[in-house]
Structure formats: structure tokens, C-alpha cells
Amino acid sequence: MLVGEQPGDKEDLAGKPFVGPAGRVLDQALADAGIDRKATFVTGAVKHFKHEMRGKRRLHKRPNNYEIERCKIWLDEERRLVKPEAIIALGVSAARSLTGKTVTISKLRGKPLDLADGTKLFITLHPAALLRMKDDDDKRAAYRQFVADLKVAAKSIR
């Protein structure tokens, strides 16, 4: 199971998670990590698209802790139905929803955490973070680390 933050503009319009630019990065990283996206359940910690209007554009706004907590019931129900062996939290909002606390990705990435029900949780950055990086060398290094994080999670269930 992959858990992202919330739908973006493209996802909100399509009604599906990770179909925009971050989704393309995620698809490539999953392929590079040897993970079949069709074999994963992909969802978001928050179910609505929080945004602000700038002219005709809808710009993403980060969900707050209250919104994350209010949507947790839906994520918990998805987990109950899917029964994943492992969950990959993509970004701090997803990690907050799954752990119940604010975490630092750099301190936890690459290390499996055990959730109360025994599910393995892996925390990594959100693919949109790669899109915001300006320096190409930094972006390539971060992408390689992202793929490595995905591989560690995949290896835990093989």
C-alpha cells in the first residue's frame, strides 16, 4: 500500500491518485524499484483537494493536522479492507496519519516501523518533493534514494 498526502489538481479532476506530474515520477520510481504499481493499493491520507484559487488556477495547500486526523477513519478502513503487508508513507502528511505524530523523514527513511497491527511501515519523501528540486545533481541523488527506499519496502514482503 502506498499512502500519499492528498489529491492534487489533476487527481481531483480524474478521481484517481497520482495521475499528475508526481504520479509520473512515482510510476518511474516504482518501475525502477521493481514494484508493479498494479499490484499496489494507492491512496491518500487526506481525501479532499485543499487548495486556493490564484486567478483560474487551483494551487495546492498542505492539509493541517485536524484535516489529517478527520480523514484517518477512511485510511484505517482502507487498511482494514486491503490488509497490506507493508505500507509506504509518501511524505510527512501520510506519515503523520499513519503514526499519529509528526515525524522527520530523514531520521526514519530506510527503517521499517511496526504499526500496532503488525504492518510494516516505511517512510520516504513524497515524489512531488523531487519535482520542486532545482539542482539537477540534488534531484538525481534524491531520486536514487527514493528508489532505494522503495526497494527496501519491496524486499520486506518478498
pLDDT digits (tens, 9 = 90+) for 103-120: 999 999 989 999 999 999
Residue whose C-alpha cell reads 492539509 in the numeric block: 63
Q: Tell me the whole-structure pTM to 2 decimals.
A: 0.92
The pLDDT tens digits of the residues spanning 92-103 come to 999 999 999 999
- pLDDT at residue 31 in the model: 98
Higher pLDDT, 138 or 8: 138
The sign of the CA dihedral 30, 34, 37, 43 is negative
CA–CA gap between residue 111 and residue 114 (Å, rounded): 10
Task: Name the band, by pLDDT with cuts 50, 70 and 90, for residue 150.
Answer: very high
The CATH superfamily assigned to 2-157 is Uracil-DNA glycosylase-like domain (3.40.470.10)
Domain residue ranges of the chain, discontinuous segments joined by +? 2-157
* pLDDT over threshold 90, residue 19: yes
Query: Given this model, what pLDDT does residue 52 score?
Result: 82
Structure confidence at residue 9 (pLDDT): 85
What pLDDT is stored for residue 40 in this prediction? Answer: 96
Q: Mind listing the pLDDT tens digit for each residue in 37-85?
A: 999 999 999 998 876 888 888 776 889 999 999 999 999 999 999 999 9
Confidence of residue 158 (pLDDT cuts 50, 70, 90): low
Phi, psi dihedrals of residue 134, rounded to the nearest 5°: -90, -45
> Residue 4 in 3-state DSSP?
strand
The reported pLDDT for the residue numbered 105 is 95
